[in-house]
C-alpha cells in the first residue's frame, strides 16, 4: 500500500491533514521513481510527475489517473529532461 498524505504546515507547531490519506496503488507496484514537487492545483486537481510518469490526483474524491506517456520520442544520444510542467482548465470543453 502506498499512501499519499496532504498536510498543511501553516501552523508552525504541527502538520495538519488537509484530506484523508489516498492509496495510490500504481505508485507502489509500478513506479520506482522519485516525484518532483506538486504541480497545481487547478480546480482541486494536483499532479505528481517525474520525467516519465505523470499522475493526476483528486484529493476530494480520492481518485487518481495515470496520464499516457508523451508521444514525443527522445533521439538516440539524448536524455529526457522536464524543466517545467503545467496544466489548466478549459471551461468550454
Is residue 92 one of the residues assigned to a domain? no
Residue 55 lies in a domain: yes
Question: What is the model's pLDDT at position 83?
Answer: 67
pLDDT in tens, 21-72: 777 665 544 555 555 556 667 777 888 776 677 788 887 787 888 888 778 7
Integer angstrom CA distances of residue 43 from 1, 48, 60, 80, 91: 27, 15, 11, 29, 11
86 located within any domain:
no
* First CA to last CA distance, the chain: 35
Any idea what DSSP says for residue 19?
S
- Choose between 19 and 37: higher pLDDT: 19
In a domain? residue 62: yes
Number of domains in the chain: 1
> Looking at the whole model, is its pTM more than 0.75?
no
pLDDT of residue 29: 47
Tens-place pLDDT, residues 67-76: 887 787 788 9
Amino acid at each position: 500500500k502506498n499512501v499519499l498524505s496532504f498536510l498543511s504546515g501553516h501552523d508552525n507547531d504541527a502538520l495538519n491533514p488537509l484530506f484523508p490519506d489516498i492509496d495510490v496503488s500504481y505508485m507502489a507496484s509500478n513506479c520506482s521513481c522519485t516525484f518532483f514537487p506538486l504541480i497545481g492545483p487547478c480546480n482541486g486537481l494536483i499532479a505528481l510527475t517525474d520525467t516519465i510518469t505523470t499522475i493526476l490526483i483528486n484529493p476530494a474524491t480520492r481518485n487518481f489517473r495515470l496520464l499516457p506517456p508523451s508521444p514525443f520520442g527522445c533521439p538516440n544520444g539524448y536524455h529526457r529532461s522536464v524543466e517545467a510542467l503545467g496544466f489548466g482548465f478549459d471551461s468550454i470543453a
